[in-house]
Chain A
Amino acid sequence: MMVFDSLLTSVHSKLNQPFGGDTLSWIFTLLIYIFFAISILYGQRIQLYVWLREVEGSLYKLKRIRDEGRKIAIETIREIGKPADDPTERVDRFLEYFTIQPVSMDPARVVWKLEHILDVRDNRFKDEVKLMAPAADKTQINNLENTLEAALALNMIYKIIRHYYLLGKKTLSLYIIMQLQMIMPMIMREAEAYASALKAFAYGQPIGDGAGALVAAKLMRGYQKRKIAKDVVVATVPIEGRTAYVLKAEGPGGNVAKPGEAIKQLIEENNGKIASIIIIDAALKLEGEKTGEIAEGVGVAIGGPGVEQYKVEESLLQYKVPINAIVIKEDIADAVSPMRKEIFEAAENAINRIKRLIKERTKEGDTVIIAGIGNTIGIGQ
């Protein structure tokens, strides 16, 4: 026992020599001084590297999402389209497509120029999808186009973020890196929303954005439908003693169509004798608001680049037609992912609101237009 004790004492004293209380205190004090000096002189640079590392992590995640999206798009095309050749090359080319907006220095007719460019883009996309997936029917082509567009959006997000990341790294610009790091949570949310949209589009499931189309579909079910504008169907439905023209994009393929054009045509068909127009659409909710909440207002609730909204506003002005809007609230992730139960159930409440609005704002025998706006994927009529 004595031998063991003396051995332990000798080991301890030997080990304690290099790390003796004073020596070690001195090392740690020195380390603290070095830490303070580094913090003062290089604090900002260290912060910069920390932010860069955070962005790098998110960028890596974005890359994985983008690759996964591309893989889903290729697999879906192979499964549905039964192409003779490997569609990978065509898909990769599609993911790099870009659209140049018309010049707006002279704003006259810019809306029509934009509409033309969007039409060309849409036709080009559809032609590409037809070549990629020769066995796909019209509905499937629309769904595949939506799938590819979601994959394209993910590719664009990844490339833009990578651009600013590399630019920030190259220039070590605090402002570029700081801004990037600050917006990253929002960007990631959007990317994740597009990622879930990919699956919904590939499977042809209704998405949250189709809330307006769902309301119109519910109203027009069982009534005769006719085509009015490009990919828009309209039905004449008696509601509360009024004649309602209910319109939506033709489903069940993924399509938003041209509801503005359809409303314009209906107003002109009736020589402007429309008592009221009611537009139903999905709208982005504010944080704290409940998904599926309904709000009422005035104005043309048509999203997108603004061409369709412009057409309706022009006709409204010409014939002085009152316009009402009903929106179903949801967040960006809900808008592009499979429709939530709350949004589906909100469609019934929206119909009740429409009926109340018609009763309050119009007289019996009047004509009204009810437009369900949004992507009609997975929603028939």
Chain B
Amino acid sequence: MEESSQVKISTAFLIIIFLTLILSFVAIYVSISAVIWESDYTGALSWLLIGFIGLSLATYMLYQTRRRIRISIKPQPVMTTLVCEKCGFKNLREFKRGDYVFKETDEKCPKCNENMYIAAIYREVKEQK
């Protein structure tokens, strides 16, 4: 585990999944045949239930073995607010490397052509309920 890049799956585990799958299909077959040939609806329902429980268990176990963990550390969207000291004009843009709070920038205010400073840098998070 410590050196490999994938989680190993044991053969015994795969055999158990395979057997569960076979038994589930057999149970479903018996349930169908009970309806068609014997009209035994109560028995058919029991077999169908067993079949589907087994099938879901096997599928879940199979899904667990196939599951791959994907990790990527993505930069979170961070916004920079620039403010003109003279007229108070605010400009919001994406964070750029080198930005810091209270930095005097070369970016000009579109209203009075003065240099703007960085008043805020933050990220907005939508709260999950």
Contacts and interface: CB of A to CB of B under 8 A. Distances in A.
Contacts of B122: 206, 338-341, 343-344
Nearest to B125: A340
B59 interface: no
Contacts of A28: 23, 27, 50
Contacts of B30: 19, 21, 24
A217 interface: yes
A68 interface: yes
A57 B69 contact: yes
A205 B121 CA distance: 8
A60 B120 CA distance: 38
A338 B69 contact: no
Contacts of A341: 122-125
A343 B103 CA distance: 19
Interface residues of A, number: 49
A230 to B, nearest CB: 20
Given A12-B37, A19-B29, A206-B121, A221 B73 contact: no
Nearest to A252: B100
The 9 closest A-B pairs by CB, nearest first: A252-B100, A64-B71, A380-B102, A344-B122, A341-B122, A338-B123, A379-B101, A199-B75, A195-B73
Interface of B: 1-2, 7, 23, 26-27, 29-30, 33-34, 36-37, 43, 47, 50, 69, 71-76, 78, 95, 97-103, 120-125
Interface of A: 9, 12, 15-16, 19, 21, 24, 27-28, 31, 56-57, 59-61, 63-65, 68-69, 72, 162, 165-166, 195-196, 198-199, 203-206, 214, 217, 221, 251-252, 337-344, 378-381
Given A59-B1, A251-B101, A380-B102, 14 more contacts: A19-B29, A24-B26, A31-B23, A61-B69, A68-B71, A165-B1, A199-B75, A204-B97, A205-B99, A217-B101, A339-B122, A340-B123, A343-B122, A380-B103
